[in-house]
Amino acid sequence: MPLAGSLTQFALADVIQVIESRQMTGCLYVENGVRRAAVFFSGGQWLLAERIGQNLTLAQQLARAGVITPAQFERATGVAPEHVGDITDVQTVRMLISARFLTQERLRAWAVDDAVALLGVILSWPEGEFFFEEGVVIPQGRVAIPLPTGQLLAQAQRLTQSPSAPRQAPPLTPETVIDFAELEPGVERIRLTREQWKFLTAVDGQGTLMEVSEKLQQNERRSLQIANELIASGVLLVAGTMEGSGPQPAVKA
């Protein structure tokens, strides 16, 4: 019997646990309107996640996450990240490691962060469809980093669940849209750093954190940190998400 159904009838976390417990190999497709994700598994282990429609190379993802810089990629490969051309993800990793701009440990840490971030998003979808296709293999040239599915799921659930509240807003991701909060009269004056002021100049209530990062030419991890600081201080709030560009590709060696 195929593993498929509606997210209104089945909890996605339970579906993923079934894939792990049965040590299934294939691809789990999840969609919610225009938002779509594909996660590849091998023997129940998480291998690669894709935000369908984003079409970013691994080099571009690593640069956006601040793992490498565009200059380092260019020095290692001889081309700029936006002109990666026919260089596969596997070749990219080999060249970056050979040039000592990347390590296996750092790559794995990024893959864990990326997987948890994606899970945080798709677990928050209240409706949609899912389908697991057995035997599907990762596209040639991609990088596969086997990760323990249960641990990833537990991390994502800790981020989206609070013991003191039934449900918590999903963690900030590059697809999160932020806006200015309405400050109550009489609120104590809020002190902002120069970096926070600069960040606020790029906020328009419609753009995602990814777009804010691009405006400021700042790595996404730092943008997420500043956004969290400003949300905690009451200056900003989460207005929603824009995952239409979909989930991000992950890895096959």
Q: Which residue has the higher pLDDT, 159 or 42?
A: 42
The residue ranges of DSSP E strands in 144-247, in sequence order, are 176-180, 236-241
Residues 151-179: what's their mean pLDDT?
A: 71
Lowest-confidence segment of 28-42, 83-97, 101-115, 127-141 by average pLDDT: 83-97
Q: Which residues pair with 38 in a beta bridge?
A: 29, 50
- Residue 182 scores a pLDDT above 60: yes
Distance CA 122, CA 120 (A): 6
Residues sharing a CB contact under 8 Å with residue 151, sequence separation 6 or more, in sequence order: none
Residue 250: pLDDT band (50, 70, 90) is very low
Residues 26-43: what's their mean pLDDT?
A: 94
Residue 157: pLDDT band (50, 70, 90) is confident
Residue 232: pLDDT band (50, 70, 90) is confident
What's the chain's length in residues? 253
Residues 149-162: what's their mean pLDDT?
A: 82
Residues 11-31: what's their mean pLDDT?
A: 94
* Domain range summary for the chain, segments of one domain joined by +: 4-54+110-160, 58-105, 176-244
Q: Longest C-alpha distance within the chain, in Å?
A: 61
pTM over 0.75: no
DSSP designation for 132? E
Q: What is the share, in percent, of the chain residues with pLDDT greater than 90?
A: 42
Among candidate residues 121, 149, 118, the one with its CA nearest the CA of residue 15: 149
Residues 16-25: what's their mean pLDDT?
A: 95
Radius of gyration of the chain from Cα atoms?
Answer: 19
Tell me if 175 sits within 8 A of 121, measured CB to CB: yes
Structure confidence by residue, pLDDT tens digits, 46-57 = 999 998 887 788
Residues 90-107: what's their mean pLDDT?
A: 93
Per-residue pLDDT at 244: 43
- Residue 163 scores a pLDDT above 80: no
Tokens 């560009």, residue located: 245
- What would the two tokens of residue 177 be? 């849209």
Return the sign of the alpha-carbon dihedral for residues 184, 202, 248, 6.
positive
Q: Which residues pair with 141 in a beta bridge?
A: none
Tell me if 199 sits within 8 A of 226, measured CB to CB: yes
Domain 176-244 has CATH 3.40.109: no
What single-letter amino acid sits at 52?
I
Per-residue pLDDT at 224: 86
Residue 1: pLDDT band (50, 70, 90) is very low
Residues sharing a CB contact under 8 Å with residue 211, sequence separation 6 or more, in sequence order: none
